[in-house]
Structure 1
Amino acid sequence: LFQKAIQKGLKTALFTTSTAALMLSSSGALGVAAGVISTNDAAFSDLAAAGNWNEITAEGVANGTPANGPQDNKAFTYGGNHNITADEVGRIITAINVAATNPGGLNITEDTSVGSIVTGGNLLPVTINAGKSLTLTGTATVVANHGFDAAADTYTGLGNITLGGANAGLIIQSATPAKITLTGNIDGGGIITANTDAAINGT
């Protein structure tokens, strides 16, 4: 159940346990994302020496060269059934590729922005810690030849979202008019904010 406060240009939903479909109106250009691929359970803050990230080939696999965790305005791919911790303050990720994995999840422990989430089959569960936020920006991916394409405003790979307590936030903030649909369950307690026209379960 939730309560909705509507202001001009802003809709905010306070959630306990619910399922939400959020739709926004637009389109986005197709691009190719640049970034890294996980080789173990990993964190954004991991350095190359930890061995948890690799550079990615044009075919979307690890090339054997250790890399630092995902950087601002880059993308990353799940290279296995891994748990990834987003622990860098304000990190901006252009796209996430779940690929053909069955990911353990994405744990948001610092405010994080993501442009698109795509998949080769399975969905990515996300947990947002208390006082932290995940912003879905809907922005286009980086144009570079690093393993996968992802259109803007695409969240087909996003699965269930758990809001982990007071002020855990999911923010919908499309950079362009867009059509975004979220079909996973949204559980726990927290805040959903849509900074654009939006429909939640058709209302």
Structure 2
Amino acid sequence: MLSSSGALGVAAGVIATNNNAAFSDNVGNNNWNEITAAGVANGNPAGSPQNNWAFTYGGDYTITADAADRIITAINVAGTTPVGLNIAQNTVVGSIITGGNLLPVTITAGKSLTLNSNNAVAANHGFDAPADIYTGLGNIALGGANAALIIQSAAPAKITLAGNINGGGIITVKTDAAINGTIGTPK
């Protein structure tokens, strides 16, 4: 496992190796692997991403964020066409990066996804992810009452959301954010 080092600022990380991986998975579920500095699975099973870790989509998968109040420094969807990220528990993400394809997100009623400009990730995960970069974030579906998207980044950062936001829920913006897309279905 990549370890955290205050001197180098390198956070730990994992790579999803199977569809339907979840944040609640343990090593025995075999849905996650340790990740190499080149950004690929090293064949060693790992548990799910923990607080202040980054993770990479290792294929065209759906991943469920089902561990309460998990803080993820960065998500890498480069090289995949991710099926989605289901937010089933409150989740915080610092950056979502891509090589072109976007990560669609569905937020369950009563849960939240917070984009908070968490610490950047060094290249030891096979990718660099500066804070407040959400170029990999696609369409966001708010799944009902009190499903929440919270944009809370450090000033003077500007966040651009490239996807559409649909469904019923709450959007809270506490930043100088640029929203490039639509909110709701055009009538």
Q: TM-score, normalised by structure 1?
A: 0.80
AA of the residue aligned to 1:154: I
The yes-or-no answer on 1:190 pairing with 2:175 is no
The yes-or-no answer on 1:93 pairing with 2:72 is yes
Q: 1:160 maps to what in 2?
A: 139
Cα deviation, 1:7-37, whole Å, max 9, x if unaligned, reads xxxxxxxxxxxxxxxxxxxxxxxx8653000
Q: 1:69 maps to what in 2?
A: 48
The yes-or-no answer on 1:125 pairing with 2:125 is no
Report the Cα offset of residue 127 of structure 1. Answer: 0.1
AA of the residue aligned to 2:131: A
Report which structure shows greater RCO (CA 8 Å, sep ≥6).
Answer: 1
Distance between the aligned counterparts of 2:92 and 2:102, measured in 1? 18
Query: Any idea what SS the aligned residue of 1:106 has?
Result: strand
Q: 1:83 maps to what in 2?
A: 62
- For the Cα contact (< 8 Å) 1:36–1:53, is it kept in 2? yes
User: Would the alpha carbon gap of residues 32 and 160 (structure 1) be closer, same or farther in structure 2, given more than 3 Å must change?
Assistant: farther
Cα deviation, 1:32-56, whole Å, max 9, x if unaligned, reads 6530000002000100111000000
Q: 1:35 maps to what in 2?
A: 13
Distance between the aligned counterparts of 1:201 and 1:155, measured in 2? 12
AA of the residue aligned to 2:12: A
AA of the residue aligned to 2:23: F
Higher normalized strand content (fraction of residues):
1
Number of residues of Structure 1 aligned to a counterpart in Structure 2: 172
Structure 1 alignment gaps of length 5 or more: 1-30
Distance between the aligned counterparts of 2:180 and 2:163, measured in 1? 12
Q: TM-score, normalised by structure 2?
A: 0.87
- For the Cα contact (< 8 Å) 1:138–1:176, is it kept in 2? no
Distance between the aligned counterparts of 2:14 and 2:167, measured in 1? 31
- For the Cα contact (< 8 Å) 2:160–2:180, is it kept in 1? no
The yes-or-no answer on 1:110 pairing with 2:89 is yes
Report the Cα offset of residue 108 of structure 1. Answer: 0.1
The yes-or-no answer on 1:173 pairing with 2:146 is no
Report the Cα offset of residue 141 of structure 1. Answer: 2.0
AA of the residue aligned to 1:38: A
How well do the aligned residues superpose, as a CA RMSD in angstroms?
1.7
Distance between the aligned counterparts of 2:137 and 2:28, measured in 1? 30
Distance between the aligned counterparts of 1:67 and 1:61, measured in 2? 13
Distance between the aligned counterparts of 1:108 and 1:91, measured in 2? 11
- For the Cα contact (< 8 Å) 1:48–1:69, is it kept in 2? yes
- For the Cα contact (< 8 Å) 2:121–2:129, is it kept in 1? no
Distance between the aligned counterparts of 2:157 and 2:71, measured in 1? 19
Report the Cα offset of residue 142 of structure 1. Answer: 3.7
Distance between the aligned counterparts of 1:179 and 1:115, measured in 2? 13
Report the Cα offset of residue 105 of structure 1. Answer: 0.3
Q: Percent identity?
A: 75
Report the Cα offset of residue 154 of structure 1. Answer: 0.4
